[in-house]
Amino acid sequence: DAKTTQPTSMDCAEGRAANLPCNHSTISGNEYVYWYRQIHSQGPQYIIHGLKNNETNEMASLIITEDRKSSTLILPHATLRDTAVYYCIVRAPNTPLVFGKGTRLSVIA
């Protein structure tokens, strides 16, 4: 079973920042927080991951709270192509990803 809780759906205006929350209150010390997304029926796409420090790459930023019980994925300037289901996953090293229901993000023009 997924160890994370995410809102079912969110809307975001095009060009604005999309902030997707995730709760993972039972995360273990060796588990990382991963974010993936699935656009239509394509294969899941890796976005970003982190352990305890905030992370940023060309796609997004990941903000992890100090107690590591929750995190937020930030898409700084959402576009229509960012419409997808976003999955927050906690994962120990070299173990399979366990997908939950994710958050359906709709970017609106």
Partner 1 sequence: EAGVTQFPSHSVIEKGQTVTLRCDPISGHDNLYWYRRVMGKEIKFLLHFVKESKQDESGMPNNRFLAERTGGTYSTLKVQPAELEDSGVYFCASSQPLGGGNTEAFFGQGTRLTVV
Stretch touching partner 1 by CB under 8 A, among 4-12, 21-29, 73-81, 87-95: 87-95
How far is it, in rounded angstroms, from Cα 9 to Cα 105? 6
Of residues 45-84, which lie at the interface with partner 1 (CB under 8 A)? 45-46, 49, 51
Q: Which is nearer to partner 1, 94 or 109 (CB)?
A: 94
Sheet holding 70-75, edge to edge: 18-23, 70-75, 61-64, 55-56
Q: How far does Cα 74 stand from its chain's mean position?
A: 8
Question: Which positions touch partner 1 (CB under 8 A)?
Answer: 2, 32, 34, 38, 41-46, 49, 51, 87, 91, 93-101
